[in-house]
Amino acid sequence: MEDVLRILEQDSTRSNKNIARMLGITEDEVAEQISELEKRNVIVGYKTLINWDKTDREVVDAFIELKITPQRGEGFDKVAERIYKYPQVKTVYLMSGTHDLAVMIEGRTMKEVALFVAEKLAPMDSVISTSTSFVLKKYKQEGIVFEDDEKDTRQVITL
């Protein structure tokens, strides 16, 4: 199972047929493993990594650190849930260190993102403070370098 996960983590578009050939098992076995992993929510989803900067669509990403007062009996989870339900919120992590939650937000303009923070996040009862930083350039995400110049420069044949 771990092999299937490793292969899909690298490239989720790989066909069951090719995964089967890489692992020396049958296509049916691969399909079975994947469906099992999906059912158990080990494979949580499949996405495509897009460099929107290369398109006409304007996208602004922001990274927001939040300090939180945990709710009695509910801890941080309930607050996190109230935050991640917003579709603009792309990522929510509980963090160690000076802040409690790290939140990634996507919007069309800086103003839109700033207003979302001011109107939705900051006023929440349990939110003590917010600190917003805007993403200026993405170099690498999910282990993939956006402008990779490491081409194959090997000779065609060497012994």
Partner 1 sequence: MIDYQGLMNKTVLKIPPSGIRKFFDLAAQMEDVISLGVGEPDFVTPWSIREAGIYSLEKGRTHYTANAGLLELRQECAAYMKRKYDISYDPKSEILITVGGSEAIDLMLRTLIEPGDEVLIPEPSFVCYKPCTMISGGVPVIIETKEEDEFRLTPEQLREKITDKTKVLILPYPNNPTGAVMPRENLEAIAEVLRGTDIMVLSDEIYGELQYTGSKHVPFSTIDGMRERTVLINGFSKAFAMTGWRLGYAMGPAPVIKMMTKIHQFGIMSSPTTSQYAAIEALKSCDNDVAVMCNEYNYRRRFITDGFRKMGLSCFEPLGAFYVFPRIAGLGMTSDEFCNRLLEEEHVAVVPGTAFGRSGEGFIRCSYAYSVEEIDEALKRIERFVKKYSEK
Which tokens hold the place of 118? 């001011």
Number of residues lying near partner 1 (CB under 8 A)? 17
Task: For residue 95, give the amino acid letter.
Answer: M
User: Is residue 18 involved in binding partner 1 (CB under 8 A)?
Assistant: yes
Rounded Cα distance between 132 and 135, Å, is 10
Handedness of CA 19, 23, 25, 29 (dihedral sign): negative
- Cα–Cα distance, 12 to 18 (Å, whole number): 12
Q: Is the CB of 21 or the CB of 111 nearer to partner 1?
A: 21
The smaller minimum CB distance to partner 1, of residues 33 and 132, is found at: 33
Cβ–Cβ < 8 Å for 22, 7: yes
Residues numbered 20 to 59 that lie near partner 1 (CB under 8 A) are 21-24
Which residue, 2 or 119, has its beta carbon nearer to partner 1?
2
Rg, C-alpha atoms of the chain? 21
- Applying CB under 8 A, the span of 13-21, 35-43, 44-52, 107-115 interacting with partner 1 comes to 13-21
Report in angstroms how near the CB of residue 21 gets to partner 1 at its nearest: 5
154 C-beta neighbours (distance < 10 Å), count: 7
Task: Tell me the sheet residues that pair with 89.
Answer: 105
By rule CB under 8 A, what string of x and - marks binding of each residue 120-159 to partner 1?
------------------------------x-x-xxxxxx
Residues that bind partner 1 in the complex, under the rule CB under 8 A: 3, 6-7, 14, 18, 21-24, 150, 152, 154-159
